[in-house]
Amino acid sequence: MTLRKSETLARSGRPPKEMQNAAAERIIETATVLFASRGFAGTSMEQVASQCGAGKDTVYRRFPSKVALFEAVVEHAHKRAVARLEDLPPMEGDALERLQALLRELLHINMEADLIALKRITFSEAVVFEKNAPIPPQPDPIMSRLVHAVGEAQDARMIADGDADAIASHLIHCLVALPTSSAMMGSGDFDTREAVDAHFDRTWGWLLKGVTLQIKS
């Protein structure tokens, strides 16, 4: 006799893996909203359980501590950013234009409110995380894609030769670090997409042309 799904579940005492994954996803999504809006200290495991409709024991079974839950939230946010980049249509133009477009997308993704809030928590709660802040899994597919784009621009002789990894890191620092750090500190200087794009265009121009005067002979 074939058991129905409900009978199989009742006999095993454990939900199928798909249901477990869905429950974990719901917990993480709820925790993301609470951490982003209330901060790390202002969010409790009980609040997460209540908001997502799961029992406290269910939450603790999947995430044994609030730090473990926050680390899962950060990893989930990083995977979401990777998925967004993978879903983008093929970037048009030459190698330099494709590199520019990729960097602009990375900047706008990093400026999203929930990511800014999670970064703020990561840095402000360094003591809680024992000075070992959650970091994306390595190697980071986002940086790998950026390094590849830098290499393509070098192969096309559109940017100087050099360590592609180091160049990619410097591009991220110059183009992304300032507005994200400013937003983390509560500044409203980059609250609009127009302000973010103005920063990108200005800094990209400096990176390509330098900041010295070009004196014609």
List pLDDT tens digits, range 97-116: 999 999 999 999 999 999 99
pTM > 0.85: yes or no: no
User: What pLDDT digit, counting tens, does each position of 39-79 carry?
Assistant: 999 999 999 999 998 889 999 999 999 999 999 999 999 99
Confidence of residue 19 (pLDDT cuts 50, 70, 90): low
CB of 190 within 8 A of CB of 179? yes
pLDDT value at 132 more than 80: no
Among 168, 169, 175, smallest CA distance to 152 is for: 168
Q: What is the pLDDT of residue 196?
A: 96
Among 144, 70, 152, smallest CA distance to 106 is for: 144
Q: What is the pLDDT of residue 137?
A: 59
- Measured CA to CA, the distance from residue 185 to residue 1 in angstroms comes to 63
Q: What is the pLDDT of residue 193?
A: 94
**Which tokens go with 31?**
């925790």
**Which tokens go with 206?**
């400096």
Q: What is the pLDDT of residue 6?
A: 43
Which parts of 53-192 fold into alpha helices (H)? 56-62, 66-87, 95-110, 113-124, 141-155, 164-172, 178-184
Structural domains of the chain in order of their starting residue, each with its CATH number: 12-64 (1.10.10.60), 81-217 (1.10.357)
User: What pLDDT digit, counting tens, does each position of 155-196 carry?
Assistant: 999 999 999 999 999 999 999 999 999 999 999 999 999 999
Q: What is the pLDDT of residue 7?
A: 44
Judge residue 215's burial from the number of C-beta atoms within 10 Å of its C-beta, 0-12 exposed, 13-18 middle, 19 or more buried: exposed
> What does the mean pLDDT of the chain come to?
86
Q: How far is CA 134 from the centre of its chain?
A: 12
Of the listed ranges 16-25, 128-137, 196-205, the least confidently predicted one is 128-137
